[in-house]
Structure 1
Amino acid sequence: MPLKHGEGALHEGPKWMALNPALVVLRGGALGDHVLTLPAVARLRRLCPDQPMYWIGHPDRGRLARPDHLVDADGPIGAALYGAEPSIPDWLRSADRIVAYSSSSERLAHRLQAACSGQIVTWDPRPNPERREHTIDHLLAPLPPCDPARPEDGVPRFSPTDEERSAARQHWADANIDPEDVVVIHAGSGGVSKCWPPGHFLQLGEWLERHGHAVVLLRGPAESENGHLFRTLTDRWPSISAVDPVVLASLLADIRCLIGNDSGPAHLAAAVGTTTLTLFGPTDPTRWRPVGGDGLVVQSPTSQMADLAVDAVCDAAQNLMQPAD
């Protein structure tokens, strides 16, 4: 499986060690970064169908890749790759193929090249500011194409298991909520500048109710850390939350729609096939829009989220969803 040169590096490690048939992927980042990496994971699975996948990364977010082995990047492996700890474990040293998405790609490449026996590709996951391409395409760029190509190759997909979906449906049932009638509002984001004002979300939620939709809030880290900013919303509507992204994906799989800021949950909802309406301000939807499911994006006429009119979002929601009877 030859890998491309590019905004990273391709290396062959020393040949003194017998290879094991392992594919190792290293990926950090937030929830959305992981979801947008799923097409790369799917391509690697097609290219290396018989190789077990080791995933070095976040212990919860990494589960979205369904790896055969999940290794916490903050544990000893992180110290071995980035710190002073000299010991790299044998399973990594002898891996057949290593794909490392890292902003420290050059430094990491030297470390891996000196210690590992297989083919190594390192790639900076940050989009190239000189190219207006979707981040998914950037993450796929160092990997060879699959033959035949398929239309869905660039679409993130995550499929909860029957057991995971059953647990999510039980959660909704315990809350006495039918998720098929629910529009989930996610008012938070990892960056304050990407957040539509809570008062605007309040008006949107009231509009949704007038048009027959049940409203449920999604509480993420931003809402927990700045609860006072969202109190007008949390006092008005019930809410759900899930630290585990697999649990969250399962909860979002059966809802009518998710409306929210440019954030990880929007990408995750799209990956399970849920309809999404995503609100953009300072970030570029050409690079960061959710892909998958039925979705629309609405962007502020300026970079300021407060300048995105409530009426514009309501009109987009009207176009995206038929009113409930």
Structure 2
Amino acid sequence: MVRKSLLIIHQGALGDLVLTFPVLMCLKKYYSRIDGICSSQLGKLACDLGIFHKNISIESAWVSSLYSDIIDKKIKDLINSYTDIILFSFSKQLEKAVNSLRKKNSYIIAPRPPLLNTNKNLHTADHLAALLVKHKIIKHNDLEIFHSLEKTGKKYQIQFPGRILIHPGSGSRRKNWPVHNFIELYDSLEKSGHNPEFIIGPADEFLSREIKKDNYPRIINKPPDLIDLNNLLKTGALYIGNDSGVSHLAAFSGLTCVIIFGSSDPVRWSPKGRAVHVIRDKTLECLPCFETREDNCCNHLCLTSISVKQVLDTAENLIFYLKEFKTYT
């Protein structure tokens, strides 16, 4: 039976939200309408992708009243207008506020799985799907749909030379492969006859200055918003980046991706897509430490040990494959 309407409340950043997209697409089987409350930029992207019907900005004053002692009537009425609510949050205050406003179903979903001291950590997307099954929001056999959606993406008919999109930033500088390595990678790809282009977001402007400082004419794209970013990603033949929200979006969009992991754990956070290739140093016993330490060690071995040649060889092999077969499935 198709239920009437669902409201998603999500407090996370781009990568966290993108990892929910496969399970949210599964939910369309059960709800005639899915709306969201998240950041304005993320919500516009989710609407553009057809994940949400509409989004309400979590930055709005009347929505923010959920965190205060006096809750705005407008948000009270909105909360009660939906058949079900799924709250992706660790905030006990937000959970308490939502539950105090309605008697209908509200489901609280931890946005990431707990850390384990073993190699049996669960991927965040699989964790979300398992909790939806546990709460009986979806059925166990829906996981087949979920796993197929994890690997969605257009089978691009790639015409080379195509754009090789390089994003040297992330939500944390701790996850960034050295920018001089990205610059060397760009120059090597260009000398090999390929068309590399940098993607720089508003938080990555310091990287833009590094890329420009030797006055070498490198192409730098600065998409003004996430919809423009997504449209740019659709024009690429290959994507290379760090563990970042942009990398998650690139993988979800169907691009063949080379993702460089340092201190964060690809078992938990690798982007989901049809062709994602993770590069990391598997020899270091200290990894992963991103979620357990406040800073990386002083020499950042997990990132500096990954050579430009290693990333370049992976990219060249993928380019050869894509030239030969035109698609990657």
User: Which aligned pairs between 1:219-298 and structure 2 lie closer than 5 A?
Assistant: 219-225=200-206, 227-232=208-213, 235-298=216-279
Unaligned runs of 5+ in 1: 2-19, 160-177
Aligned partner of 1:75 in structure 2 is: 60
CA contact (8 A) 1:198 1:233 kept: no
Distance across 2 between alignment mates of 1:158 and 1:91:
34
User: Which aligned pairs between 1:81-230 and structure 2 lie closer than 5 A?
Assistant: 81-87=66-72, 88-104=75-91, 106-130=92-116, 132-144=121-133, 145-146=138-139, 147=141, 149-150=144-145, 152-153=147-148, 155=150, 181-225=162-206, 227-230=208-211
Unaligned runs of 5+ in 2: 285-300, 325-329
SS in 1 for 2:132: coil
User: Which aligned pairs between 1:20-31 and structure 2 lie closer than 5 A?
Assistant: 21-31=4-14
SS in 1 for 2:69: coil
Aligned partner of 2:18 in structure 1 is: 35
Aligned partner of 1:163 in structure 2 is: none
Deviation at 1:109, TM superposition (A): 2.4
Distance across 2 between alignment mates of 1:295 and 1:74:
33
Distance across 1 between alignment mates of 2:225 and 2:128:
24
Distance across 2 between alignment mates of 1:297 and 1:281:
10
Task: Please tell me the residue identity of whatever aligns with 1:32.
Answer: G
Task: Please tell me the residue identity of whatever aligns with 2:108.
Answer: T
Deviation at 1:252, TM superposition (A): 0.7
Aligned partner of 1:169 in structure 2 is: none
SS in 2 for 1:142: helix
Q: CA 1:180/1:85 → structure 2, altered by over 3 Å: closer, same or farther? A: farther
User: Are 1:318 and 2:316 counterparts?
Assistant: yes
User: Are 1:63 and 2:44 counterparts?
Assistant: yes
Q: CA 1:70/1:30 → structure 2, altered by over 3 Å: closer, same or farther? A: same
Distance across 1 between alignment mates of 2:41 and 2:67:
21
Deviation at 1:247, TM superposition (A): 1.8
Q: CA 1:25/1:84 → structure 2, altered by over 3 Å: closer, same or farther? A: same
SS in 1 for 2:228: helix
Q: Deviations over 1:104-160 (max 9, x none)?
A: 1x332222222113100112213310251111112223213444532644517588x
Q: CA 1:250/1:184 → structure 2, altered by over 3 Å: closer, same or farther? A: same
Deviation at 1:223, TM superposition (A): 2.3
CA contact (8 A) 2:7 2:37 kept: yes
2:304 to 300, 303, 306: 306
Distance across 2 between alignment mates of 1:234 and 1:127:
45
Give the stretch that moved more between structures: 203-212 or 143-152.
Answer: 143-152
Distance across 1 between alignment mates of 2:219 and 2:211:
13
* TM-score normalized with structure 2 length: 0.78
* TM-score normalized with structure 1 length: 0.79
SS in 2 for 1:277: strand
Aligned partner of 1:167 in structure 2 is: none
CA contact (8 A) 1:198 1:229 kept: yes
CA contact (8 A) 2:37 2:58 kept: yes
CA contact (8 A) 2:169 2:207 kept: no
Distance across 1 between alignment mates of 2:69 and 2:205:
35
Aligned partner of 2:296 in structure 1 is: none
Q: CA 1:86/1:299 → structure 2, altered by over 3 Å: closer, same or farther? A: same
Deviation at 1:180, TM superposition (A): 5.9
Distance across 2 between alignment mates of 1:285 and 1:154:
19
CA contact (8 A) 1:276 1:294 kept: yes
